[in-house]
Amino acid sequence: MTRHYHKPWTHDTIDLYEKVPENFPNFENADVFDWKPKKAYNGVLSISTLEHTVNPPKALQTLLEWDDPRNPPRRDPSLLGNGQMLPQSLIPNVLVTIPLGYYVKSDFQREPFDTTRMVFDYPWPGCDIRLMQRVSIDNRWREISVEQLRTMPANEVRYHEKFPKANVIAIWIRGKI
C-alpha cells in the first residue's frame, strides 16, 4: 500500500510484501511477527492490512495486547474465542482500519470469516469504533452508527459489491492518533 503515498514518509514502516519505495527511507520488508524493532514505539497505525491475515480478529487482538514494544507479538494461528480478551497493550495509541464485508478464508475456519463480525461479535476494550459508509462511486463517505450497520442490507456492506473495493470501513481508535 505504501506505493500509493507520494510524499516522503519518515515513520518506520514494515510490510511483508511491498517493494521498498524510494520515498520511504525507514521502510523494512518484514512480518510483524518476526520483526525486531530497534526502539520502543508509542503507537501503531494499520491501514487496511489485518483483513489479509488468516484471522483478522486475532490479528487485531494481538495488536491491542502488544505489551512490549521491543518484542513483537508471538505468531499464534489459533482462533479468537468469543469474549477472550487479555489486558490492554502498553502501546497507548492504536489506529486500525478494516473494510467490512470482506471474506477471509483460511485453513483454521470451516466457513469464510466476514470481517463485519468484528464489530458485533468481539469486545475491544478501550477502543472507540467509527464506521464509515461509502455513498458514491466518486468515493464520498459518511459516518454511520453501529445500529445503522446492523440494519443495513448485506449488499451495501459487502466488499466490492455496491461499489468497487470497500463499501463500509471500521476504524478502531485507542489513545491519541
Q: How many domains does the chain have?
A: 1
Flag whether 128 is in a domain.
yes
- pLDDT (tens digit per residue) in 28-68: 777 766 667 777 777 778 887 778 777 788 777 777 766 55
- Distance between CA atoms of 18 and 76, rounded to whole angstroms? 23
Flag whether 19 is in a domain.
no
- Cell 511483508 belongs to 16
| Parent domain of 130 | 31-174
Geometric angle at alpha carbon 30, from 47 and 74, rounded to 5°: 85
Flag whether 51 is in a domain.
yes
The model carries a pTM of 0.76
Flag whether 25 is in a domain.
no
Residue 22 has pLDDT above 60, yes or no: yes
Q: What is the mean pLDDT of residues 15-33?
A: 73
Flag whether 134 is in a domain.
yes
Residue 157 has pLDDT above 90, yes or no: yes
Average pLDDT, the chain: 76
Flag whether 153 is in a domain.
yes
Looking at the DSSP bridge assignments, the partners of residue 150 are: none
Cα dihedral sign, 16-81-62-131: positive
